[in-house]
Amino acid sequence: HSMIDLRRRLRGLVRFMEMRKRDRLLQKEASHDHLTGLLNRRGFKARIDVLSAEDFPLAVCLFDLDDLKKVNDNYGHETGDRMLQIFAENIRNHTRTTDIRCRYGGDEFAVILKQINDEQTALKKGSEICHDIRESVSAENISTFTSCGIALLNSYGETLDDAIEHAAKALYRAKRENKGSCCLWAEEK
């Protein structure tokens, strides 16, 4: 090959690598929340669509930063954003990289803990996250709570949508009965 041909091929390869890098960046932006770095709902959906039987049983956890609107109103949106970032970091610190972590909505987060079949383990993990965020934001001189609802999904055949709905019901019960607590979903008898 001539030097001219090699240079042309090298430039083509560099352009190709730059395009791949840009594509990966665009894919990350499409699936991750820009503020927290966690998955967004689109990324969350993509990750749960590829769950396999080996990932089960699961603990589906929904968290809500209680009264974030009041924090935004009283301290400003930068402080509210910092709380969201602190909470995301807290979730990263308390979960495994194989677990699925997502900013589910404005002040709601979803975590799917893989291979958790014990209610007490799931409840303990949710409670630890709620407690640690309270400690973290109190260091910022802000008094707020995080509530959590948890539902267990035992087998691959059950639907994750139902588990998310059950976790949401447990979350609302936790917020209603004891704001800042963690509640496990149990079927009403």
pLDDT value of residue 189:
37
Task: Take residue 67 and report the two structure tokens written for it.
Answer: 């009264």
Of the chain, the percentage scoring pLDDT greater than 70 comes to 92
pTM of the model: 0.81
- Each residue's pLDDT tens digit, 136-175: 777 677 777 899 999 999 865 568 889 999 999 999 999 9
Whole-number average pLDDT of the chain:
88
pLDDT value of residue 155:
63
Q: What is the DSSP letter of 114?
A: E
- Provide the 3-class DSSP secondary structure of residue 39: strand
- Provide the 3-class DSSP secondary structure of residue 168: helix
Nearest to 145 by CA among 43, 64, 30: 64
Please report which confidence band the pLDDT of residue 179 belongs to, taking 50, 70 and 90 as the band edges. Answer: confident
Q: Are 17 and 115 in contact (CB under 8 A)?
A: no
Q: Are 149 and 61 in contact (CB under 8 A)?
A: yes
Q: Is the pLDDT of residue 114 over 90?
A: yes
- Each residue's pLDDT tens digit, 24-33: 766 766 788 9
Least confidently predicted of 13-22, 34-43, 124-133, 158-167: 13-22
pLDDT value of residue 159:
85
Q: Are 160 and 182 in contact (CB under 8 A)?
A: no
